[in-house]
């Protein structure tokens, strides 16, 4: 279940791509509707707008066949939705 509370400078949530694992399949870019990835560099998954990422969302990481994407919650790897209540 995705949470639609926006990431922010104070409360960042954003994807990090492992360059050693990704294969430029483009699935993450196709899945994300929020403009986090640079379409001009497709299928290379270049993150250009991390502030547009949606807190609690894991869609791009979920579709990655190589587990090349991890979501960061601030300085730490995100553990998934924290049921913050922001989407209700």
**Which residue do the tokens 């913050």 mark?**
84
Task: Report d(CA 84, CA 69) in Å as an integer.
Answer: 23
Burial of 8 (0-12, 13-18, 19+ CB in 10 A): exposed
Q: How far is the CB of 3 from ligand SF4 (least distance, A)?
A: 10
Q: Which is nearer to ligand SF4, 34 or 44 (CB)?
A: 34
Name the helix (H) or strand (E) containing 76. strand 76-77
Q: Which is nearer to ligand SF4, 68 or 71 (CB)?
A: 71
**Residues at the site binding ligand SF4, with contacts judged by CB under 6 A:** 15, 31-32, 34, 36, 53-54, 57-60, 71
Q: How far is the CB of 85 from ligand SF4 (least distance, A)?
A: 19
Q: How far is the CB of 7 from ligand SF4 (least distance, A)?
A: 8
């Amino acid at each position: 279940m995705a949470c639609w509370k926006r990431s922010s400078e104070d409360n960042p949530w954003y994807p990090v791509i492992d360059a050693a694992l990704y294969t430029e399949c483009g699935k993450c870019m196709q899945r994300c509707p929020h403009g986090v990835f640079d379409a001009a560099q497709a299928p290379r998954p270049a993150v250009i707008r991390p502030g547009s990422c949606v807190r609690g969302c894991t869609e791009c990481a979920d579709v990655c066949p190589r587990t090349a994407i991890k979501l960061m919650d601030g300085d730490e790897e995100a553990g998934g939705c924290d049921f913050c209540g922001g989407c209700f």
